[in-house]
Amino acid sequence: MRLLLARHARTASNVSGLLDTAPPGPDLDAYGVAQAARLAERLVVEQVSAVFSSDLLRAVQTAETVAASFGLGVQQLSGLREIGAGDDEMSADLRRYVAVLRSWGTGDPGARISGGESGLEFAARFDAAVRRAVADGHPTVLLVSHGAAIRAWAGYVMPQLRADLLSRGLPNTAVIAADGDPDAGWVPAGIDYPDTDPDDGFTVKPGVVAD
């Protein structure tokens, strides 16, 4: 089967470069609404047969736009939420958040920000959500999630993507395609990047992996 991991479209918190991870989260801004529509156009070739999203508003709104173009509904899974920022929620200083996430990939999956989750906790709940999404055997499943969550999980199950994700990041509405299943593993089939958005506040903060 094919798994499509799409980051949600843009919000005002993205423009401001804020760690806005808690529910329900912000709505899409006007640019994000148009961006979600363009995502639907980009995905038409994939013949999506099921759509799931995080239960945060920005992911739901993005997923609903894409799902409507395929005549589908959206199933929300809280396990697809963004990695929580804990005590750094709504901060524009991302250094501690980024350092913790990087430490997960360098041998310390138990690291966490106070009030946040560890790498082990994150991987368990995201894995469970992916398994739920693919359990019905749909040939092509779209998951709309969040920047840090997708990068962390994809880098964990498909380590060959780590260099590309580190160098290019994962802008709003970027899509990672992978083939396989949770038991046999996932093989990357490419990353589809959208047009560059110069107003995304995270683009001016090197190494940022969030929202």
Phi, psi of 95 (to 5 degrees): -60, -45
Angle of helix 30-42 relative to helix 57-69, nearest 10 degrees? 40
d(CA 64, CA 76): 10
In the set 82, 117, 138, 146, the catalytic residue is 82
What is the chain's length?
A: 211
Q: Decide if 8 is catalytic.
A: yes
- In this structure, is the dihedral angle defined by the CA atoms of residues 79, 139, 154 and 157, taken in order, positive or negative? positive
Q: Please indicate whether residue 146 is annotated as part of the active site.
A: no
Of 8, 117, 138, 146, the catalytic one is 8
- Alpha-carbon gap, residue 54 to 57, rounded angstroms: 8
Q: Give the catalytic positions in this structure.
A: 8, 82
